[in-house]
Amino acid sequence: MDTRTRAVEEIRPAIAGLLTVYACGPTVYRYAHVGNLRTFLLTDMIRRTAEQSGLRVKLVQNITDVGHLQDDTAIDSTGEDKLLTAARAENKDPFTIARFYEAAFHADLALLNIRPADAYPRASEWIDSMIRLITGLIEQDHAYVGTDGSVYFAAQSFPSYGALSGNRLEELRAGHREDAETLAAGKRFHADWALWKSAGAQREMVWDSPWGPGFPGWHTECSAMSLELLGTSIDVHTGGIDLRFPHHEDERAQSDSFAGREVVRHWVHGEHLLFENRKMSKSSGNVVLVSDVVARGHDALALRLAFLQQRYRQQANLSWDAIAGADKLLTRWRGLVAEWAESASKPMCADYSAELREAFENDLDTPQAIQVLRRLEKAELPAGSKLETFLWVDHYLGLDLAREIGKAPVALPAGAQAVLDERAAARTRKDFAASDRLRDELATLGVIVKDTSSGQEWALS
């Protein structure tokens, strides 16, 4: 679903055979919660579906380690950088915090079989490129230095502002600062936003620039890094629905003004995830992490399946019951795949595979694909054909449906899979103390693990 045209559009890459994708990544001041991961999974599903239809995919996902302020939802944001706040709370250097949560983000992606991007540019390492972008925008009269020394984008210089969110400049005035306050803030027009913020009293995470010491505004990084790494025509740009405004609206204005063309061909936004009917937020105490799912004894991929049971473009309400249900379904499918693997392989079920492909290509109708698989598992068809169809569809689903093949008849004792998953995660984030503790825990369950170059292997003691 294309946010700008508000219609389902066929994606035809600008360069034949190559799909370029830019995904807004995490702000690395805390662990990603499962809502964030639902949005990251959206990009993975676009990528996998494109690859299945024969495209090569070039994917860039940024790491926001500077510039995302506490109150970035208002158009003229104020407040402290999220990383500096976290650094103060944890009494650590902001970049130590950033690298820690960046590693945790990669570990979470790995647990959910979200395949890595081609590049993960860190905002803090692309300041020069942001300065070039801002300089270009000033030269073209799209930006100006405000009376407070910050550089602002002149919203009125971009006539199609509002195309993504429907927020017109005049309407934005209501509820925002009065003119006197706008001017006091250093800018000329209420809806202008900072591309570069003057450091003021801030000492950490500050860089030199032609406009004096300061730091980039949050929206600046995505324009600069996407233009430089993917060029002035980007096929797909993803993010969660909250990023539509102001982040993407402002990014579009910046990139298009700089490049002199519509840079992003398709904006795709994932709707939000609720948990047990509530918005996930620290203040309401219902932030759920992948580690919480694993700690409850679930396979992390049950979470992936639970997400896929709902369509990305609809708000989804996740619950512990839904995750448990998905875990059961996943176990059943893996068991069936292992059972079918004992029969001779047969060609895929053509009708079913066509229906499945259509579901994915129809704006990622993953719930429909899962319905088709539920029918297929019960269909009167040769086991070898069902096997091949399930193995093939797993390229889209990423659920490790073949995991049990070859393991039968040895079954893990209850709860051991969760400990194994947790240990794999600990090893990914190089937490060897936790890894050793979990190895001992497995031993008490009667499971011995061995670490190999392709991950951990287990046997019953």
Residue type, 342: E
From the list Zn ion, ligand AMP, none, partner contacted by residue 273 (C-beta under 5 to 8 A by kind)? ligand AMP
Among 1, 11, 24, 294, binds Zn ion (CB under 5 A): 24
Q: How far is the CB of 24 from ligand AMP (least distance, A)?
A: 5
How many Å apart are CA 438 and CA 118, to the nearest integer?
32
User: Residue 178 Cβ, how far from ligand AMP at the closest point, in Å?
Assistant: 30
Which residues contact residue 328 at a Cβ distance below 8 angstroms, ignoring those fewer than 6 apart?
none
E-state strands within 122-279: 143-145, 151-153, 193-198, 214-216, 234-240, 264-270, 273-275, 278-279
Which of 9, 242, 339, 400 binds ligand AMP (CB under 6 A)? It is 242
Q: Tokens in use for 134?
A: 């801002």
Residue 214 interacting entry, from ligand AMP, Zn ion, none, C-beta within 5 to 8 Å by type: none
Half-sphere exposure of 189 (CA within 13 A, CB side): 15
Query: What is the smallest separation between the CB atom of 459 and Zn ion, expressed in angstroms?
Result: 45
Shortest Cβ 295–ligand AMP spacing (Å): 20
* 428: partner contacted, choices ligand AMP, Zn ion, none (Cβ within 5-8 A by kind): none
Closer CB to ligand AMP, residue 65 or residue 256?
65
Residue facing ligand AMP at closest CB distance = 240
Beta bridge partners of 279: 274
9-48 mask for ligand AMP (x: CB under 6 A)? ---------------x-xx-------xx-xx---------
Q: Per CB under 5 A, does 222 bind Zn ion? A: yes
- CB of 109 or CB of 447, closer to ligand AMP: 109
Closest approach, Cβ 284 to ligand AMP, in A, equals 12
Question: 133-147 burial string, b = 16+ CB within 10 Å, else e?
Answer: bbebbbeeebbbbbe
Provide the CB-side half-sphere exposure for 124 (13 A, CA). 18
Rounded to whole angstroms, the Cα distance separating 204 from 214 reads 10
Stretch 268-297 residues interacting with Zn ion (CB under 5 A):
none
Q: Which does 393 bind (CB under 5 to 8 A by kind): ligand AMP, Zn ion, none?
A: none
* 239 touches ligand AMP (CB under 6 A): yes
Q: Verify binding: residue 272, ligand AMP, rule CB under 6 A.
A: yes
230 binds, among ligand AMP, Zn ion, none (CB under 5 to 8 A by kind): none
Looking at the Cβ atoms of 117 and 185, the one nearer to ligand AMP is 117
Q: Which does 435 bind (CB under 5 to 8 A by kind): Zn ion, ligand AMP, none?
A: none
Part in contact with ligand AMP (CB under 6 A); list of ranges 3-11, 50-58, 266-274, 398-406: 266-274
Alpha-carbon gap, residue 144 to 20, rounded angstroms? 31
User: Does residue 195 touch ligand AMP according to CB under 6 A?
Assistant: no
| Residues 420, 458 contacting (CB under 8 angstroms) | yes
Counting Cα atoms < 13 Å in the Cβ hemisphere of 176 gives: 21
Within 10 angstroms of residue 78's Cβ, the number of other Cβ atoms is 11
Residues 6+ apart with CB under 8 A from 278: 284, 286
Shortest reach from residue 222's CB to Zn ion, in Å: 3
Whether residue 348 contacts residue 381, with contact meaning beta carbons closer than 8 Å, is answered with no
Exposed (0-12), middle (13-18) or buried (19+): which is 203, by Cβ within 10 Å?
Answer: exposed
Q: Considering beta carbons, is residue 121 or 146 the nearer one to Zn ion? A: 121
In the numeric block, which tokens belong to residue 171?
Answer: 């309407």
- Binding site partner of 27, from Zn ion, ligand AMP, none, Cβ cut-off 5-8 A by kind: ligand AMP
Provide the minimum distance between the beta carbon of 39 and ligand AMP in the complex, in angstroms, as a whole number.
4
Part of the chain binding Zn ion (CB under 5 A), chosen from 18-26, 138-146, 190-198, 284-292: 18-26
Give the one residue of 240, 288, 333, 425 binding ligand AMP; rule: CB under 6 A. Answer: 240
Q: Does 28 bind Zn ion (CB under 5 A)?
A: no
Indicate which of Zn ion, ligand AMP, none lies near residue 222 (CB less than 5 to 8 Å, by partner kind). Zn ion
> 327, 309, 326, 320: which is closest to 275 by C-alpha?
320
Q: What is the DSSP string of 137-170?
A: HHHTTSEEE-TTS-EEE-GGG-TTTTTTT---HH
Report d(CA 142, CA 127) in Å as an integer. Answer: 19
Alpha-carbon dihedral of residues 74, 78, 80, 86, nearest 10 degrees? Answer: -10
Residue 273 within binding range of ligand AMP, rule CB under 6 A: yes
- Residues forming the site for ligand AMP (CB under 6 A): 24, 26-27, 35-36, 38-39, 64, 239-240, 242-243, 270, 272-273, 280
- Residues forming the site for Zn ion (CB under 5 A): 24, 222
